[in-house]
Amino acid sequence: MDPIRPVPLPLTRRVILAQEWLRVSFLHWRVAPDVVAPLLPAGTRPDEHDGSSWVGLIAFQMSRFALTPGPPLPYIGTFPEINVRLYTVDDEGRRGVLFRSLEASRVLTVLGARAVMNVPYQWARMSIRRDGDAIEYVSKRFTGSRPSSRIVVRPSADVVTNDPLADFLSARWGMHTVLRGRTRYVPNDHERWPLRRATLVTLVDELVAAAGLPGVVARPPDSVLYSSGVHARFSGPDPLR
């Protein structure tokens, strides 16, 4: 397996989406690969680092969402998001993420993303606020069992450099999804993440368990990182051969 690239390869297909990910907190837990394998689509398998697969709980502000070449969408293009994600690799060696759930506060964005890209967005009441030197993310889903999450993270001044695990968890240049019954890979690119170490102050979370991973958040995360953010672009999906 090739090492994780700190920067992406150039996109070879037409860019279809652009967006900014701001005030991003990354919480990650080690799990055995066989725990996540049944949750992955055909043609992919768990991507591993140091013999472990990883479960991510990622909270941030989505901003300036745009359908290119158009301008950023007003109102519906800016919202808080919290997603639960796994790490995948396909038979062509393309490393990506698989989203198990994505909470968002804009119902039109939720409906559009589910219809076009088949990613499991969920409509939720959400907020992000700064409390001194900490950042609080809160979400309560409107549907189903109405799982909620409250995350409070305190970023430090400790800049992350030369960290293979941090690269593995953040330098992901695409996602796997299933469209019309076929697993597809959707490439993206963005600047290298400006990462800092962070401390988890509070976590009361039901989203990871609701995503099919019970018990994971019962212990402290194995990695907590923070980033001011990046500007991302997505191209059209590639099929798995």
pLDDT for position 5: 72
Q: What is the number of residues in the chain? A: 241
CB 57 within 8 A of CB 82: yes
pLDDT of residue 96: 95
Q: State the pLDDT at residue 13.
A: 75
Check if CATH label 3.90.1150.10 holds for domain 15-239. no
**pLDDT value of residue 8:** 73
pLDDT on residue 1: 63
The pTM of this model reads 0.94
Show the low-confidence residues of the chain (pLDDT under 70): 1-2, 6-7, 9-10, 239-241
Whole-angstrom CA distances from 8 to 55, 96, 168, 189 are 22, 12, 13, 6
Q: Does an H or E element contain 166, and which?
A: helix 164-170
pLDDT of residue 236: 80
CB 40 within 8 A of CB 92: no
Distance (Å) of CA 204 to CA 207, 208, 234 = 9, 11, 32
**Residue 237 pLDDT:** 82
Q: What would you measure as the largest C-alpha separation in the chain, in angstroms?
A: 50
